Amino acid sequence: MSHAAATPAIHLSAGVAVSRRDAQAGWLFLLLRVFRSWDFPKGMVERDEDPFAAAVREVREESTITDLEFPFGRDYIETGPYGRGKVARYYLGLTRTARVTLPVVPELGKPEHHEWRWVDYEQALDLVSPRVLPVIEWTHERLRSRQMQQGQAQQ
C-alpha cells in the first residue's frame, strides 16, 4: 500500500482523486471549490466508518457520481497534518460521468461547494494548494503508468 503520512491523525478525512478519460483532452481531474480552495471530493470519516467507504460516500454526496471504479484497489496517499491535526486520505477512482451536480445540503440550504471543474494536469497544478499538490502528482503518475501499460499490452 502506497501512502505518505506523517504523524497519526487526530481527525481523518477521506476522499477520491476522481479522474476520467476524455478523448480529446486525456486524463481529467474533478476539482471542487469552496471559497478559494480547490480539492478533490472528500470529507470526515465518521465514527466506526471504513475510510474507503467514507471516501466513496463523500464523492456521491458532493458530486452525485456513483459509477466509480478503483483499478488500483484501495491504494491511497495521505496529506501531512493540517488544520488542527487533520489528515486527508485520497484513493484514486475513475468515472465515466462527465456531468457533475452539486446537490443542496439540507442543513446548509445550499450546496457545500461553490463550483466544480474537470481540469487537466497542468490546470490542476495551478488551482490546488500546496497541500494537495502531492495528490495531483501521485494521481497523474499512476494514470500515466496505467496508460503506458495498456499501450504496451495492445501492441
Task: Establish if 20 belongs to a structural domain.
Answer: yes
Q: Name the pTM for this structure.
A: 0.88
pLDDT tens for each residue of 104-144? 888 989 889 999 999 999 999 999 999 999 999 999 999 99
Q: Is residue 61, in this structure, part of any structural domain at all?
A: yes
Give DSSP secondary structure letters for 34-73. Answer: ETTEEE-SEEEPPTT--HHHHHHHHHHHHH-----B-TTT
CATH number of the domain where residue 77 is located: 3.90.79.10
**In contact, 5 and 87? CB cutoff 8 Å:** yes
Residues above pLDDT 70, as percent of the chain: 90
Among 8-17, 20-29, 85-94, the range scoring the smallest mean pLDDT is 8-17
The answer for residues whose C-beta is within 8 angstroms of residue 70's C-beta and 6 or more apart is 91, 92, 93, 94
Q: Is the pLDDT of residue 155 over 60?
A: no
Is 5 inside a domain boundary? no
CA distances from 144 to 28, 41, 73, 93 (A): 12, 21, 17, 14
Q: What is the pLDDT of residue 80?
A: 87
Q: Is 122 part of any domain?
A: yes
Would the pLDDT of 40 be above 50? yes
Is 1 contained in some domain? no
Domain count, the chain: 1
